[in-house]
Amino acid sequence: MIHLDFYLTVAGALVGLLVGLTGMGGGALLTPLLVLFFGVAPLAAISSDLVTSLVMKPFGALVHLRRRTVQTGLLGWLALGSVPAAFAGSALVGTIGRSARVQADLKLAIGAALLLSLSCTIVRTVIDRRADRDGLELVVRPGRTVLIGVIGGFAVGMTSVGAGSLIIALLLLAYPRLSPARLVGTDIVQAIPLVASAAVGHLLFGEVRLSVTASLLVGAIPAVYLGARLSAQAPSAVTRPIIAGVLTASALALLKLPVGLLIPLAILVAAVVWLLGRSGFEQRARVADDRRAGQDDDLVASLQNGLAGHRQQLAVPDQQA
């Protein structure tokens, strides 16, 4: 009989909400949470997290498909790289073994993946400072898109980290004009076949714990749906620094750094991400104000030209008379 754990359900709800809001993969948050706070073995945490994500992500994807915030031209190319790579990564990590040494190495691998995910979050914040997003029609580049799928897929299969944090940052690097809503929507939808492939690999070669998975899903399913519905108004200036701080603390804990360094470094990273996001918001606001001012000037000039033409038309009959 499957036993539901209340605290795991709460953890699943929190992660599901953040996944729906930000597009960040649950593995970057849920796997270290299971390992560090619930004492789940790393391989079992990876396997259970992937099965949870497989059930959770379609609920968020449905909202984005209905809102048409998905760049469908990228999905096939991403899946072409990510699906086989995810299965290969899960098969590799599942067949390496379950010894204590392997589990310790998996903790280090997850910590390294989290640091990579954190770096991608910072890069994404820097790129987000640029204006003129989604300004031109997207030109799909198959080669780089398949490569993004391969890198993200293998990372997810090995560590469950990368479906959102890594791939969404790589997509932003490759397609900087994608709007935030389309980035989140595209990433959540493309992650479905990726996570499905990795989950199948872990069901065959890994260590899925059904009680852990069921407890997480009870909280995650309604939360990810709610987060996806709120994603268009998501306060990224608040959520992104918090996630960056959590990733920092989790990565350093898995890499066995002194506990006294975890909180100060996490706060420092969160502050840096917040400052970058704030300056980017102010920059985009200035650009928007300049653009509105330019539109107002164009409108005034158009009205002046129209009045001048009208006066000229009125003056012509007087001259003829």
Share of the chain above pLDDT 90, in %: 18
What mean pLDDT do residues 28-40 have? 86
Give the pLDDT confidence of 250-299 residue by residue, as tens digits.
888 888 888 677 778 888 888 888 887 776 555 544 544 445 555 555 55
Stated pTM of the model: 0.73
Confidence of residue 232 (pLDDT cuts 50, 70, 90): low
Q: Dihedrals φ, ψ of 162, to 5°?
A: 130, -15
Share of the chain above pLDDT 70, in %: 77
Residue ranges of domains in the chain: 6-289
Give the pLDDT confidence of 54-98 residue by residue, as tens digits.
888 787 778 778 878 888 899 999 999 999 999 999 999 888 867
Handedness of CA 205, 89, 103, 161 (dihedral sign): negative
Residue 222 scores a pLDDT above 70: yes
